[in-house]
Structure 1
Amino acid sequence: MLIIIKPSTQKKHKKNCAWLLDQCQKRGIDNTIFYTTGHFSDDCQKIAVLARSQKRVVVLGGDGSLHLAVNALMALNCSLALLPQGTGNDFARGFGCSNLAWRDAIFSDHEVKIDIGQINNRYFINIAGVGFDAHVVNALQAKPALTPLGYSFAGFKHLLAYQAAHLEGRFAGQQSQYHNLITVFANYHYFGGGLKIAPKAQLNNGYLECYTMTGRGLLGNLYSFIRLLLRNHHGMKGLSYQRLNTANIDTPGLLIEADGELVGMTPATVTIHPQALRFCMPQC
């Protein structure tokens, strides 16, 4: 077992680390520990090398650490387990499971093949987006949010000054252009520290849920944000929804985020890899 740990001084994090190592010892499981450094390319390459000889990889961290592991493991045959330890934990939030259920899944044989999205050269397990969400992720690099509420507050604050950019693209082969507030490609439900944008998303149906929200000025943008917070955005004016497996964004120079990480700029090609990774599914 390869254990990927994002270093933390939090008591809960240390407690879960100690528990996992103790369980490995009790169960006679050989383990290798890798501590992430924050340097994506270097960490990704090192994890890929270490994981070649492992049957299972366990991530103790949040969405960013999970994103790192997915990109390292896509060409390998080991399974992936998660013990959520991040600030937002948006991917884990979609399951509604307790910490105990995530612990049990680490040593369970209940593996499910799940889909993995790709935007340009980055894979994503949860959600990728272009627009306001990427703008907030970029802003939070300088001052990270410490709580899920902090993500929402940062989103509200930056929304006041955000200017929607013109976007042209092809979604499931259909040409489209609009003033983009948010364009997301969702493999699962939540993003932005607890915003349930894609309630219909499934992890193994071979599709991404694509949501596009047009910019409608300050008051219109605030209204859209509030509807998203209240989870009643479906059917809202200015929102388009479709299920797809391919998309292209042709407009250059727009920021891209994936799983809450800033990953580049447009133009972008988006695809889905059906049942590409074996995931240790918690039993909630």
Structure 2
Amino acid sequence: MNSFLFVLKYIVGNKSLSLLIIIKPSTKKQSEKSLIWLKSICKKRSFSYCMFTTTGNFNNDCAQIRLLLSKFTKVVVLGGDGTLSLAVNALIGSSCTLALLPCGTGNDFSRGFSCKEDDWRKALFNTPTAIDVGKINSRYFINIAGVGFDAHVVKAINAKASFSSFDYSWTSIKELFYYQAQQLQGTFNNDVRQYQNLITVFANHKYFGGGLEIAPKADLTDGLLECYQMRSGGLFYNVISFMKLFFKRHQHIKNLSYSRLNTASIKTEGLLIEADGELVGKTPAVISVYGQALLFHMPIKKRLQ
């Protein structure tokens, strides 16, 4: 029997189920460890649960998760940014709350909380917080969407059979020598701009690219996106700009524009778009933010005594 049909049949006959676990197939020890812990907690606390294993087909997985949501009160994601983004796109408009046990490769969204594994586990039982969600064209994003070099790197990474967090940094450095910046024309908070684009990102949270803190001021609950527009200035200048970004000194880059916005559009055609570390299409694009659109179980970082 198809695994999804089996799950659906099981849910129909067991309406007491309340926890939907979304997991990406993985050989990572962290993923296995988190699943074992979660199952033990469900048994200990008499929680009912059901597992949905992703297939890599975003549209199909998203549609199937939506069919399941009415039977649950909480969704727990075991994975990284891509699996989390899948869950977010499925949950929009749902009354389910969302929790995360980070066990992906980049884990950029979870990195923004500076929390440990135990904090994320405790977060499953915290009162959820209403957080903002960004949208670029038809795709929602919880972390960061970007147009330009970051999307180019995502495309290069996707060509690999497997990759590590180190591959993000190494691929970024390598691809910087081959990247051809293109002219970008867009409107940002009713301000029309045109420039040679290196990176243009719309940040709901802080990190992207496997650990680069592009948006240190980003706030998940302020109803706005942080917009960073890094203009291209030739190979040498781009390398220097990237190194400043790597060492969190990009606020001092001369050709960097920063703004906070709730709407933007990009008119230029054919530029790659990435959202939450996944390629999601090409420009033109319309960017917006949906305030308090999702109930998320935030981890609470332990204070030093």
Q: Same-fold call, TM > 0.5?
A: yes
- For 1:237, the aligned partner's letter is K
Q: 1:76 aligns with which of 83, 88, 94?
A: 94
SS of 1:24's equivalent in the other structure is: helix
**Which position in structure 1 is the counterpart of 2:12?**
none
Task: Give the Cα separation in 2 of the matches to 1:188 and 1:169.
Answer: 22
1:52 aligned counterpart, secondary structure: helix
2:191 partner amino acid: Q
Report how far residue 29 of structure 1 moved.
0.8
- TM-score using structure 2 length: 0.91
Residue in structure 1 matched with residue 6 of structure 2 by the alignment:
none
Contact 1:51 1:78 in 2 (8 A): yes
Alignment coverage as a number of residue pairs: 283
Listed as ranges, the matches of 1:159-238 within 5 Å are 159-238=176-255
Give the drift of 1:265.
0.5
Alpha-carbon offset, residue 144 of structure 1:
5.6
CA distance in 2, matches of 1:2, 1:213: 40
Cα offset, 1:25, TM superposition: 1.1
Partner of residue 28, structure 1: 46
Larger Rg: 2
* Alignment of structure 1 residues 115-194 onto 2, 5 Å: 115-143=132-160, 146-194=163-211
TM-score (norm 1): 0.98
Query: Among 37, 46, 64, which residue is 2:64 paired with?
Result: 46
* Partner residue of 2:78 out of 53, 60, 64: 60
Q: Are the aligned partners of 1:145 and 1:151 in contact in 2 as well (CA < 8 Å)? A: no
Instruction: Report if aligned partners of 1:182, 1:212 keep a CA contact under 8 Å in 2.
Output: yes
* Match of residue 90 from structure 1: 108
Residue type matched to 2:59 in 1?
A: S
RMSD of aligned residue pairs (Cα, Å): 0.9
How far 1:14 moved relative to its partner?
A: 0.9
Runs (5+) with no aligned partner, structure 2: 1-18
Paired AA for residue 45 in structure 1: A
Show the counterpart of 2:11: none
Tell me by how many angstroms 1:13 deviates: 1.4
For structure 1, the 5+ residue unaligned runs are none
The 3 A distance-change label for structure 1 pair 43 and 243 is same
What percent of counterpart residues are identical? 56
In 1: Cα distance, 2:123 partner to 2:245 partner: 31
